[in-house]
Amino acid sequence: MRFRHAAPVWAAFPELSAGALYAAGVDAPADTRRRAAGYTDRAVARLARGTEGEFPEVLAWRRTFSRMGVKPTQYRSASESLLRRLRKEGSLPRIHPLVDLCNAVSVAYAVPVAVLDVDRITGPLLEVRPARGDETYTAFGGGVERPAPGEVTFVDSAGRAHARRWTHRQSGHSAVGAHTGRVLVVAEAMHDGGAEAVAEVLKTVEEEVAAHWAATTATAVLTPAAPEFVFGH
């Protein structure tokens, strides 16, 4: 399987920093609550000094959404939505041990972190690219949508979209569940210093996966010169 950002995405958003992690063997039960709480506490401490709308990481994604023609106050990046919920409710939803951990890391670094079930993605290619208008997206409620032409999304080789509005929302089709054994984790940042943040996110998630599962992992930092991550041989 290959994962990449298409050349038009790098050209339109040269400030993008991206990285990916593949993990196989994450289907065993694990208790990540204590470790996740440590990352969440970091975000809570930062939110005590100012709302997420003041964070450079969040503002950078708002500018990106505006450039895509998306209203950033109507559609938020996933990390902004998580930070907003944490500020208002004091906690994050519990979904799956690995997803909960990645959501906590996401708020700690204030960057979007997507977690996809690899076995629900049709290969050989998953690509972040502008939609053509014929892709299908399955919402968490089961409804089927078609991303508008030009909307940046994650598209597999079957033409299935695994996200809406880039980092706004993932697909219910490739959502991680109890039977998930292999995952692709994608971190993306747009702010100054994003490359360092993405590298830290990958390192952190890889360490946490190793601490909680007997899993094999591989990571890659993605750039315009080296945009492709080959995984899951």
7-35: per-residue pLDDT in tens? 999 999 999 999 999 999 999 999 999 99
Q: What is the sign, positive or negative, of the torsion defined by CA atoms of 82, 88, 89, 90?
A: positive
The residues near 81 (Cβ < 8 Å, ≥ 6 apart) are none
Domains and CATH numbers, the chain: 2-223 (3.50.40)
Determine the Cα–Cα distance for residues 70 and 142; give it in Å rounded to an integer: 23
68-120: per-residue pLDDT in tens? 999 998 999 999 999 999 999 999 999 999 999 999 999 999 999 999 999 99
The residue that leads in pLDDT, 127 or 233, is: 127
Q: What is the mean pLDDT of the chain?
A: 98
Which residues share a beta bridge with 23? 183, 217
Neighbours of 159 (CB within 10 A): 12
Determine the Cα–Cα distance for residues 170 and 164; give it in Å rounded to an integer: 6
Query: What is the mean predicted confidence (pLDDT) over 147-154?
Result: 97
- Counting residues of the chain whose pLDDT is more than 70, the rounded percentage is 100
pLDDT for 10 equals 99
Tell me the CA end-to-end span of the chain in Å, nearest whole number. Answer: 7
Q: Is residue 233 scored above 80 in pLDDT?
A: no
Contact between 112 and 167 under an 8 Å Cβ cutoff? The reply is yes
pLDDT for 73 equals 87
Determine the Cα–Cα distance for residues 184 and 229; give it in Å rounded to an integer: 10
Q: pLDDT category, 214, cuts 50, 70, 90?
A: very high
Query: What is the mean predicted confidence (pLDDT) over 168-183?
Result: 97
Q: Is residue 145 scored above 90 in pLDDT?
A: yes
Q: Is residue 190 scored above 90 in pLDDT?
A: yes
Say which amino acid occupies 197.
A
Place of tokens 């979904």: 95
